A and B are shown apart, each in its own frame.
Chain A
């Protein structure tokens, strides 16, 4: 196995990232991560996590872009990583060190089993998150507990998180305040692996029955700034029955056209 060495610059990026800093703080990421082979095993979890992060942030998409641990079970982080984590650790190392492909194939099969459990897990996570934040107040530009939780799930669960959010949005006890906050966060988040799913979900919400949700979706799309959503927003504007909301949506159109 080759030694995996990542630059200090890469890790200073993680340190300055508010989401990652919180998540990776548990592993005390520091310059020791440029460790030689003898220390590789000790640091394998943070290293592979960091690689995941760097892939997400650098718009590079590996063949199976996903995560290497369950961030919502700290007890696993403190000790041995979950089976999924163990697999992903090995997967990332093999990805970068070109280990034997036979072993990779076997492990990929194991991964398929693990992955199916994640969708269910992230669904439970969101249900719990939305319940806990029902009484939270949201402000434009503010950092809410709900927003942080959604960002974290998007980072670690990617597209599965968007699918789970779609389900949670259908629950009757979820408030429109929460939904619109979630839509802003979905638009603001930069993780490339879930970009398409997030864009599609925002476009769907442009046609929600709730005007508050339609407003949140329009703002989310203007934060996402993907010109491909221009036509969907135009369509929503044409169909919007509330004059003031229609005008606000029109004001957001240039954000999609001028990227």
Chain B
């Protein structure tokens, strides 16, 4: 058994709701409400869910871009949950993030060269000519020409900008990259190119990915495992094949129904998913999915289901599947 690169236990990230004048806490938005994750080195984990499911907050909490409220994050054997910024700094070289919208994630007032040199400056790895040479290497690695270094982000196309975003994440040779909807903002024709680039880089550099997406179809072909999130919790997780061909949770089935099937003849239960995701400020009682669940039972409204291991790394939290 390989040791885990990342172990997340009981991760909770709640945002306070403050009253208007006196700024007293009158409630909280439970964006992430108890997430457990294990990620092995070299693995690609997909986190899938509708917008509002807390998947982005979970990703950012793991990197401590958002401070988690409770739980623990162990990265490379080190508990980073409460590490002060100074001690966190060396670890930041080991874990990076690629954002959804490269227009917003690249500083519009900096040339690509400066954007890519920033990681070296911050960590005192390289300066001047050395840094410039490394920037050129990075650009080549992601398939951009050397001249790109002198240009500003708005001079590039969306796909090219995302390549810059990926190059920045790679600058310090991290072990883990979290991709927060890395291709959702791109044209469909470009999405495949970027996914292929991510896959190639993973092979070449031995990276570990957590890819966050609302679209199972986009990330599925490079994921080894998939976790499905709903209202701040993981409702089902398991190897890609298990999830795709034998989904257990009604929510996973509903998500799959939205993915175009590669095999038009294949019979799949079509589950229409009505309504919107409820507010994480006021989640439903019991199983959070029960108001939208086609198979909801009376106990679903009262009792929250616990995750149950089904073997082969597949687990589900649903009253339909009791141990």
Is the A/B pair a real complex? no
Instruction: List residues of chain B with CB under 8 Å of any chain A CB.
Output: none
